[in-house]
Amino acid sequence: MREFTGVERAPHRALLRALGFTDGEMERPLVGVASAFSEIVPGHIHLNAVAQAVKDGVTAAGCKPVLFPVIGVCDGLAMGHAGMRYSLPSRELIADSIETMALAHCFDALVLVPNCDKIVPAMLMAAARLNLPAIVVSGGPMLAGRSRSGEKLSLSSVFEAVGAVKAGRMSEDELREVESAACPTCGSCSGMFTANSMNCLCEAIGMALPGNGTAPAVSAERLRLAKESGAKIAELLEKDIRPRDILTEGAFRNALTADMALGCSSNTVLHLQAIAKEAGFALPLSVINEVSRKTPNLCRLSPAGEDSMEDLHRAGGVPCVLKELGGLIDQSLPTVTGKPLRENLAGAPEPDGAVIRRVNNPYAGTGGLTALFGNIGSCVVKRSAVAPDMLKRTLTARVFEGEEDASRAIFAGEIRPGDIVVIRYEGEAGGPGMREMLTPTSAIAGAGLDAALLTDGRFSGATRGAAIGHVSPEAASGGVIALIRDGDLISLDIPGETVNLLVDGEELARRRREFAPPPEKELTGWLARYRDRIKREEKP
């Protein structure tokens, strides 16, 4: 609390005394503990206990912890309606609020306690921006649900069950059984969805202790990890180890390599790019494919396979995966343990060959994500969750001007095998907010449809199938996706890293001359300001 010393700071100390601070506590470093606890997010409902364990660790290490809250949107609860427009933009609000609290109150360091989709990257963005000594300790994953027959369940199981009911493949009673069993504990949803992807990448990038991504939310190990993380902040302060010492370009390559091996959510691309920007450099999409081409896919967790996060944890977790990747990972890089990554991995077990495969026997020779390029623009697909017969196809476009219309058509049985559902005006500006499309992708999967989906929106990490998202330029910016018409053919070649609209240039030019965008959605509040900012940033 260097800012609160001296005669001139007596008024400040008077306010601290009103909080119950003793003279001794005012002499200690002030550590902000940013907690995303709330009573509406299953991944956050237990964060008070995690944050208290952090505070215990901070106090034991001789610092003074102070807890402050941040908001968090539950993507599952926001899915499929207008509320999802607030999810991705909330990432910026969270980063801004942490900056505000840290600088306004002169924190010496930060312990960041997130768990769910946008909250984890938001806290990393704040850490990179502020460059105060910081460490991340997340709330941990939910345990997998179980059906009466013993089948593993997760939130994606429920979304897909809705599609199965609509297609006549499941009864409503069976749906209720899935609904009741899918989410049995607190924690981030149990598959390799976006929240767990980012929590695992916190380890790979060096900003969290080993175990952060996989130790279950309901375990004592999670509380011990929180105490250790709280105590570790004192060492980071003493050694003056700051986020930008750790968040180097090499660390982001390590994160991408882990991403490819684990089969993480496509949303990690958006988040890693945003964190890199705060750290002072760009992370172009071309790097995604560069890393993917040389990284074997070692894990197939839900939704790409049957394994859950607790299975990954038992098999050795992220350290096991990183160690198995060997020279593909730069193990000399610094981490929040105060040691190079190599020392963090020294005690990791050998892969079990099932949940975590060996590099000489991977699920695939290339990584879980692929960036696609072509005349439609640039986009991203979770390759590891795509069926082999959909990796290279020519598909017929069915075009919709928003998620709701597309979902209604899928539920009504209007989509046919060989179609590609095109959902546009769902990008950052057009949505606004770049909504996730778990409802339509799950409807396709649940109905057993041999179909793909293309959107300028994005996907939940729970999505599986040929779901191509983040199309840029988006429709609202005049991208080619705005010119696609029903019946057009689209060539999808994921191994070749391309997606193209099979319409000649002369016809596309004619369509562009005739193009008239739909009216903008009427908005108020900060979401309107967000849309205006995105549109300004996209201007050449």
Which residues are known to be catalytic? 460
Secondary structure element (H or E) that encloses residue 411, with its range: helix 403-411
Whether the CA torsion 282, 288, 293, 294 is positive or negative: it is positive
Whether the CA torsion 508, 509, 514, 519 is positive or negative: it is positive
Q: From CA 335, how far away is CA 326, in angstroms rounded?
A: 17
DSSP 458: B
Q: From CA 462, how far away is CA 468, in angstroms rounded?
A: 14
Q: From CA 298, how far away is CA 307, in angstroms rounded?
A: 12
Whether the CA torsion 12, 17, 22, 28 is positive or negative: it is negative
Contacts of 463 (CB under 8 A, 6+ apart): 156, 266, 303, 382, 385, 436, 437, 438, 441, 442
Q: Are 298 and 321 in contact (CB under 8 A)?
A: yes
DSSP 327: G
Q: From CA 54, how far away is CA 111, in angstroms rounded?
A: 8
Q: Is 434 left (phi over 0), alpha (psi -120 to 50) or beta?
A: left
Q: Are 21 and 27 in contact (CB under 8 A)?
A: no
First to last CA, the chain: 45
Residue 318 structure tokens? 């992220």
Q: From CA 368, how far away is CA 417, in angstroms rounded?
A: 25
Only one residue has tokens 């939940």, namely 460
Q: For strands 392-400 and 489-493, give the pairing.
A: antiparallel
Q: From CA 206, how far away is CA 246, in angstroms rounded?
A: 6
Q: From CA 437, how far away is CA 424, in angstroms rounded?
A: 11
Only one residue has tokens 């496509």, namely 266
- Please state the φ and ψ torsions of residue 499, each to the nearest 5 degrees: -145, 130
Contacts of 389 (CB under 8 A, 6+ apart): 450
Secondary structure element (H or E) that encloses residue 50, with its range: helix 47-60
Residue of 148, 157, 251 lying closest to 203 (CA atoms): 251
Q: From CA 326, how far away is CA 312, in angstroms rounded?
A: 18
Q: From CA 480, how far away is CA 382, in angstroms rounded?
A: 22
Residue 254 structure tokens? 């390590």
